Every structure is written in structure tokens, then in C-alpha cells.
Chain A
């Protein structure tokens, strides 16, 4: 091996900028759900207010930091690329994941628009292989990009032969 280090570059394309809002909305839903037990506890408990205030402030600080930091960070990390022979994605924020699957091993291409995603005109695309550990999910694509990607991938997958195991 040569002295200069061989490295993988990040995938070419960023996801849609609206994905930041999508991630924020999704995380916000989670934080609101977490608020429910606190409210119930507040009503059910007759003791002093101090513990409630402490938990409430902790909730507020954690939620604010998470909502402010996570989407921006994710947006910097999340990237995707599909070439004639492979799909390559990079996801995560604290922990970074890179996934590569050859087109010749792709089994299904699946695109989905959840309610929150429709709100932001986004869609996700999942590319599965024969391995249960192999699905590659691209989150937060602009809806029209997702359609284009699905169309491209299905044409390419159709050109390869074999059962892909």
C-alpha cells in the first residue's frame, strides 16, 4: 500500500434543505410525547413544585439543544449518491454511517411519503438487498428528486441479471 492514505469521499448530493425542518418536526413530536407523562405526574402528585420544575427545565434545555443542533448537524452529514453500479449513502450525526450496495445486488426500490414528509414535500427512498441488514434508506429527499431516483434505480436494476443473493 502506498504511503498516502486512501480515503472514501462523502457521497455527492445533499438531501433537500427542507429535510432540516422535517427532522425538527419529527423530533418535536417525540419531545411533546415525552411531555405527556410529566403533565400527568404534575397533576397526580400533591407534593412540592420543585421536582416538577427541575424535570421541566431539564426537558426544556435538552429539547432545545436537540432541536437546535441535531437537524443542522444531520443536514451536514446526510448525503447520497447513485451511480450506474452502486448506491452510496452517508447518514447519522453523533455516529456516522456509510452504506454502499452494488446495483447488481439490489432487490427492491421502495419510496414512501409519511404525513410529516408530505407536509414538507419530501419523500424517502429505501433500497433493499437480500440481506436483512442491508437496506439503504435515503431520508428527506425532495419529492420530485425521489421520484427521479426511483425511476433511475429501477431502470438500472432491471439491467442486471441474477437473483442477487
Chain B
């Protein structure tokens, strides 16, 4: 196999304008990759041939394989790219033609990878990333350049003519000279905060899981629970009580177990919690009893903070603080805790700390502008609609299946609950705009106050549903590169939405105002 292929030989310039094609050696790789993608239908068809009476199966397999190979060839012939002094452009697709244009300023990363098959042919895959947090959009991928030209491209893209350093090139991952930097501890866990543990409900999941595993074990091992003395006694005891008392007793047991599990969970995840600020411009969070987790957030990437108060925690005047930072997505699952700046702690402490972190206490304490009676009314109509639908559902269930009527009477309690929730939601709804910070607060089961730097707003979305249009309300959404990617101010009066958007990002909306 010939090696040492120059860049000039490999990148075939095509039809002027600087459009280039991928390496022709991809003509060998693409079909194999397409075949690999079609492996399941192929295997299925071949098994069908063995099983069945032969005949058509082979032709089918041949056909599918042929299509795969043709698709592979097509991919080569329909993909082209060019690099101009200012842009990288990629064209691809036959039926779905796409042209993707990325300004070279926005390029943050250039990855050169070489999977096995590529390596055999001396090829590499170049992925150009813009640092977008959206996972679906994998940026520009040039699948299949010769290793040499991939390396050239890498150099070409990252060393642009203007010698300015690229702002925001992944320095988050660069190691910091930790010893040289001085460190200020902003907050450390106070043991008395463990009292907020039972109110976090994190233990509810644990209790659920334990119950699930338990019932599974009982089922699998065919143990008759009623024969175990303790269980037998408690069931008999409950059976002798009136139904409401029995329900209350069971509920009390669940509550106690949840409280214990939540407290244990709190200690496990937040013991030794410490938040410190390094003079090199980073925030450092360390926490955990058995597994120590530590997160470093560059303050340059910090776009704001979120004060989160779940209902129970709010009832005991507690709150948590989360960071809004680019590259740190407020995630689900494993990376969920990534942005924690303060575990459940006294509200006053949380507000204080949030203010310290963003260097301005005002947005955390500023009085919020209410959204007016029409916005409040919408909370009530929504709660009313939802509870009515649920109650009617239960009523239908009772009438159709002959379930006991107390189910319906219990369901009626959804109405006062809904009213309570709605009035709380209405009371919590509000927004504010201080010098540099956009503040929005809403929610009841989890009340959140978002504080976002106005510079971090990279676009506005305004939604008016049919109902909102009738009462002159808008849901104003600020999009941003960090945290939840979007922060909403729900049901704000139209004029106020415009005022907020205009003031927060000056010069953007002026050109679109009606005379």
C-alpha cells in the first residue's frame, strides 16, 4: 500500500469555486459502512433463505447489498466541501440536499479521528465543532480525508490568518496551575443543614426502588409473606382498623422511611461539601461522603445562577443553588448534579451565596414585577381545567366499573388542591430586570428563580397561544448557551415583554418595532 500521500494529490478540486471532494479512497470505505448499516436486513434475509425454499431470498440479499453499495458511492459523489478565508461549507445529500455553513470564527474544535476501517486505507474523519451544546447537531463532519490532508485541514482551520487567540477555545479542559492560585472558600457544609435532608424527597426514589426489589424477590422466591410472623401480625393489625386509619398508618410508615432515606442520601451526596473560588478565575465544588465529586466551573463561562425551592423545602425555608454555565447542561441522569453550587440549605444562606457567586446581590433580592390579574387568572383556569378533567375521569371510572364511590369523593379534593396550587403559582410568578441581570421566577411544586446575565441572552422567542392572544399575554423566552438553554418569563403582558427584551439587549428590537 502506498503511503506518504501529499495533500495536493488527495484533495481533488472540483468545478472551481474551491469545492473539494473527499478522498477517492472513500469509494471503498463508504460502501462497506453502508453494508454494515444494512447488516440486520441482510442477515434476516439470509436466514430466511436457509429456512425457506430458497428461490428469491438470494436475490433479495443481492438487491439490498447492491443498494447499500450504490448508496455508499452516492455519498461520495454528493458530498463536497470548501474552505474559504471566512467559512467552511459542506454540501451533501441527493434527495435531501443540505448546505451547512460555519463561519471560521465560530470553530472551537477540530477533531481528527480514525476508526479501524479508515486506518486501513490511511484515511481520517474530521469533525468541526462550534461548541454548540446541542447534542443532536454534530456540526460539520467530513468523513473521509486522507490522513495527511486531514492533518493539513486541522492546521488550516485552527491557525487562521488573524493571529488573535480564539475566545473560548476549550480552556475549561486545560489543566490549571492549581498550586500557584490562591483559593478562597466561599461556603462549606454546616452539619445542621442535614435537617433539610428529609425535605428533599430524594429518598422517595430509594423507597420505591427498595419496594420494587422487595416485591420482586418475594415473587421470584415464592415466599408466602403472610406466613412470616411480623408481616402476618401487621397485616392482621391493619385489617382490624377502619380503612382510613389503616391508610394513614401505611402512609406514616412510608413518610418515615422516605425521610430517613432522604437524610442518608443528603449525607452521602453532600457531606464535605465545599465551594471555593480560585484566583485563576474558577469556582470549585467538592462534595460527597463515599464518592467525592468535584466540579470546576470557569467563571468566564458562568452565565447566571438558579435558586431552586421545591415545595417541601420551601415550607421549611430552605433552598438550593445551581449554576448556569456554558458547557454545563442542567442535565438528566448522571450529569444532573454537575451544576450544584449549594445543596439544600437555609434560604438566607442560599440567597447570600448566589449573590456572592455572581458578584451582585441585587438580582436575588430585588422585588419582582407581577404579571397582573390576567396572568394570575390563567393559573386558576389551568388548574381548574386539569382537576375537572381528572375528576370526570374518576367519575367515569366509578360509573363504568362500579368502583366504590369514596374514590370519587376523594377525587373531589383535587379542586381545593388545584386552587391552592394555582394561587401559589400566581403569587410566585414574577420577573425583574436589574442593570445586568434578567430575573424570572415561577413554579410552585418547584419554585425557581433564574438569574441570567443579559449578555448571555443570544436570542428571544415569543410565543402567543390562541388563549394568550385574547388576553394580551406573551411567553417571553431568552435563549442562552448555558444551563437549560432557555429561560422563560411566562404570561407577561405584551408591552412589558417588549420592554424587557428591548432593555436587556439594546439595539436588537428597535428595528422591528411598529410605528
Q: Please list the residues of chain A having a beta carbon within 8 angstroms of any beta carbon in chain B.
A: 1, 5-9, 11, 81, 83, 85-86, 88, 94-102, 105-115, 118, 128-134, 136, 150, 154, 157-158, 160-165
Contacts and interface: CB of A to CB of B under 8 A. Distances in A.
A165 B462 contact: no
B481 A7 contact: no
B105 A101 contact: no
Contact of A132 (B105, B485, B512, B515): B485
A133 B461 contact: yes
A163 B458 contact: no
Contacts of A157: 103
B86 interface: yes
B166 A150 contact: no
Bin the interface of chain B by size.
Answer: 35 or more
B168 A165 contact: yes
A157 B107 CA distance: 13
Given A85-B511, A158-B87, A161-B105, A134 B494 contact: no
Given A98-B461, A154-B87, A134 B514 contact: no
A129 B466 CA distance: 28
Given A81-B512, A132-B134, A111 B481 contact: no
Interface stretch (B67-75, B422-430, B501-509): B501-509
Top 10 A-B pairs, shortest CB-CB distance = A133-B486, A130-B481, A101-B459, A132-B134, A131-B479, A105-B458, A9-B514, A165-B481, A134-B479, A158-B86
A132 B458 CA distance: 11
Contacts, number: 179
B345 to A, nearest CB: 30
B132 interface: yes
Contact of A130 (B86, B133, B460, B513): B133
Interface centre among B103, B498, B513 (most CB of A within 10 A): B103
Interface string B451-489: 000001011111111100100000001011110011000
B374 interface: no
Given A97-B462, A134-B479, A154 B512 contact: no
B97 A112 contact: yes
Contacts of B167: 162-163
A121 to B, nearest CB: 12
A134 B326 CA distance: 14
